Amino acid sequence: MKLWEKSTEINEKIDKYTVGHDREMDLFLAPYDVLGSIAHIRMLESVGLLHSEELNALEAELKIIFQIAENGEFVIEEGVEDVHSQVELMLTQKLGDVGKKIHSGRSRNDQVLVDLKLFTRAEIEKTVESITALFDILIEQSNKYRDVLMPGYTHLQIAMPSSFGLWFGAYAESLADDLQLLLAAWKITNRNPLGSAAGYGSSFPLNRRLTTDLLGFDSMNYNVVYAQMGRGKMERVVTTALAGVAATVAKLAYDACMFTSKNFGFIRLADEFTTGSSIMPHKKNPDVFELTRARCNKIQSVPQQITFITNNLPSGYFRDLQIMKEVFVPAFDELRACLEMTTMMMDRIEVNRDILKDPKYDYLFSVEEVNRLVLSGVPFRDAYKQVGLSIEAGEFTPDKNIHHTHEGSIGNLCNDEIKIYKDSIVEQFDFFKVHEAIRNLVKG
């Protein structure tokens, strides 16, 4: 069954090629398609395009279908083109001609737009939860190891003293900034396209404000042409935010792989996160972090893929947009898997507390000695030269008792402030408003 099908016989090869993986991707959208339909028919009844009895019958059946979809039991039958067709078919099988009325005033174009918006909102919320879980572990470890020193590097050469408090905390604050970008993506996502139909509105007296409120959107995409143009833009913006998170996790994974090697020996992973070699019995390879790094790098390519699919399209709908689902929909699960695994690894990581006892790290403290001389009254350039000459002569003796007190330094991590910053961002998502709207749709 195809909503557009008339009298032309369909070529099976062409049908398979044009549908592609769309039916598989649409299974992820099923509950959201039902939610959009419930809001739409309530609006249709409010403007006189449905009788109250018809609304009641349709809504009762849609709520049953919603539960089927929520339970993971929704199936797009053989020969049915997409999720929209399947929902309409199920309604028509139960209610006859009344089931055919739900499509008044909308197109599959704005249906898939609203489905993707609702899907993306839910996925962003789950992603924020995963980011927060990793953030919390990083802050916890930062506080736990705040006084354990480690080398800091520039150009991969030892530079100055750092600490595990700084290392863990740096990635926590990076995630907080990533949440800021994800919040911007949420705000672009949380606007209602329903009622734009095929991208040019409808002659029906639709009440788009009502569906906006029913679905818990912050506002609508007002201009109907722009609502259609938003297809691809939203996906690009959201995956750019996901790519930011992935970049943070990939860098953390790189550090962890490097720091676990025998040449560094700064940290040790729990054995279950490593694998061995088929011929070298001593090997414990950080495979889980390596795969995390690779997967996060793959996620960073998704915005580019979406750009390449959409960047040469004029305004209006084109079938090219269908292909985006194949790269967009799986990105959330892939990123959350990386976040979950990284959270587990960072929670159980073991830290080497005695790294700087090795004399090869003595020169880390050269800047500390320069600063000590400056504080005693020696001009900086003179102090710098004096310490440099003592290093060249092999006479430098480090004082490893360091005292950094400024904000964000070894002795003043500002972890409480970083957490406040993160919490203030998360609060702005206002997930409660969305939950309340969906609850009213499904239960009301």
- Asked if pLDDT for residue 1 goes beyond 50, the answer is no
Q: What is the pLDDT of residues 375-419, one digit of tens each?
A: 999 999 999 999 999 999 999 999 999 889 999 999 999 999 999
Q: Which domains does the chain have, with CATH numbers?
A: 12-104 (1.10.275.10), 109-357+414-443 (1.20.200.10), 358-413 (no CATH)
- Asked if pLDDT for residue 17 goes beyond 90, the answer is no
Contact 76, 23 (CB under 8 A): yes
Determine the average pLDDT of the residues in 134-154. 97
Mean pLDDT rounded to a whole number for the chain: 92
Q: What is the pLDDT of residues 335-352, one digit of tens each?
A: 999 999 999 999 999 999
Gap between the Cα atoms of 36 and 44, Å rounded = 12
The gap between the terminal CA atoms of the chain, to the nearest Å, is 31
Q: If you write DSSP's letter for every residue of 224-281 in order, what string do you get? A: HHHHHHHHHHHHHHHHHHHHHHHHHHHHHHHHHHHHHSTTT--EE--GGG-B--SS-T
Helix (H, G, I), strand (E, B) or coil at 414: coil
Res 7: pLDDT: 52
Q: What is the pTM of this model?
A: 0.92
Q: What is the pLDDT of residues 212-245, one digit of tens each?
A: 999 999 999 999 999 999 999 999 999 999 999 9
Rounded (10°) angle between helices 431-443 and 108-144: 130
Q: What is the pLDDT of residues 109-135, one digit of tens each?
A: 999 999 999 999 999 999 999 999 999
Q: What is the pLDDT of residues 390-401, one digit of tens each?
A: 999 999 999 999
Res 126: pLDDT: 98
The half-sphere exposure of 321 on its side-chain side, counting CA atoms within 13 A, is 22
92: left (phi over 0), alpha (psi -120 to 50) or beta: alpha
Q: What is the pLDDT of residues 273-326, one digit of tens each?
A: 777 666 776 667 889 999 999 999 999 999 999 999 998 888 888 888 888 899
Q: What is the pLDDT of residues 241-271, one digit of tens each?
A: 999 999 999 999 999 999 999 899 999 988 8
Res 113: pLDDT: 95
Closest by CA position to 42, among listed 193, 230, 194, 189 = 194
Res 271: pLDDT: 83
